[in-house]
Amino acid sequence: MGVIKRQSIKGTVYSYLGVAIGFVTTGLLFPKFLATEQVGLLSLLVSYSNLFAIFAFLGFDSVTFRLFPYFRDEKSHHHGYFALSLGVSILGFLLSIGVFYLLKPLIIRDSIEQSKLFVDYLYLIPPLIFFVLLFNTIDSYNRVMLNASFGTFLKDLFQRILIFCSIILLIISIIDFHGLSICMLYP
């Protein structure tokens, strides 16, 4: 069986399992055990972090897909391309954090009346940007290394298992909503 076929089958299995777990978590458990504002807060935090992470990536995913074949060399560990990719990501992260803190008063001003809860949890966005950016960097590198199913496993299955476990911890009163938001946002 070829590499692409094997990766496609693995990715499909991971995706379907992730969809099933995601449905149980967000479709059944979230509405039953979280307030509408809490569900909305989690979605908003993820949306903002994804927006800033896209900016922080500085378009390096396209560079990776386009230029990596010139760096590919097993003996020299691909000429340090992964380290270069991490360096660009760290630079992009620092830039995006700077932009976030510049825009933070504007975000707070526009949100304070509609969602005090969002303003209270705004501090979770910078670390979440970092983790989203790190995942995207590793995923892009794995894709050019012909291991696309690893990123699918992490994003579609592993992350959803962690979120499911976090909501279970909330249900059995081991953690509160604050603990849930931290557990969910850092896998």
> What is the tens place of the pLDDT at every residue in 60-115?
888 888 877 777 777 776 777 888 889 999 999 999 999 999 999 988 887 777 78
Could you tell me if residue 155 is inside a domain? yes
| Residue 77 and residue 11 share a domain | no
Can you tell me the distance from the alpha carbon of 116 to that of 126, in angstroms, rounded to the nearest whole number? Answer: 18
Q: What is the mean pLDDT of residues 142-151?
A: 80
Q: What angle separates helix 81-111 from helix 36-56, to the nearest 10 degrees?
A: 140
| Residue 136 and residue 73 share a domain | yes
Could you tell me if residue 12 is inside a domain? yes
Can you tell me the distance from the alpha carbon of 123 to that of 128, in angstroms, rounded to the nearest whole number? Answer: 9
At 172, the pLDDT band (50, 70, 90 cuts) reads very high
Could you tell me if residue 183 is inside a domain? no
| Residue 156 and residue 132 share a domain | no
- Mean pLDDT estimate for the chain: 87
Residue 4's domain comprises 1-33+147-174
| Residue 17 and residue 66 share a domain | no
| Residue 81 and residue 14 share a domain | no
Among left, alpha and beta (phi > 0; psi -120 to 50; other), residue 161 is alpha
SS3 for 75? coil
| Residue 151 and residue 90 share a domain | no
Q: Structurally, how many domains does the chain consist of?
A: 2
Could you tell me if residue 22 is inside a domain? yes
Could you tell me if residue 136 is inside a domain? yes
| Residue 56 and residue 132 share a domain | yes
Contact by Cβ (8 Å): 136, 63 = no
Could you tell me if residue 182 is inside a domain? no
One-letter amino acid of 184: M
pTM of the model as a whole: 0.86
| Residue 50 and residue 26 share a domain | no
| Residue 21 and residue 75 share a domain | no
Task: Tell me the percentage of the chain whose pLDDT exceeds 90.
Answer: 42
| Residue 43 and residue 129 share a domain | yes
| String of DSSP letters for the chain | --HHHHHHHHHHHHHHHHHHHHIIIIIIIHHHHS-HHHHHHHHHHHHHHHHHHHHHTTTHHHHHHHHHHHH--TTTGGGGHHHHHHHHHHHHHHHHHHHHHHHHHHHHHHHTTT-HHHHHTGGGHHHHHHHHHHHHHHHHHHHHTT-HHHHHIIIIIIHHHHHHHHHHHHHTTSS-HHHHHHHHH--
| Residue 42 and residue 27 share a domain | no
pLDDT value of residue 8: 83
Could you tell me if residue 186 is inside a domain? no
| Residue 116 and residue 155 share a domain | no
Could you tell me if residue 80 is inside a domain? yes
SS3 for 166? helix
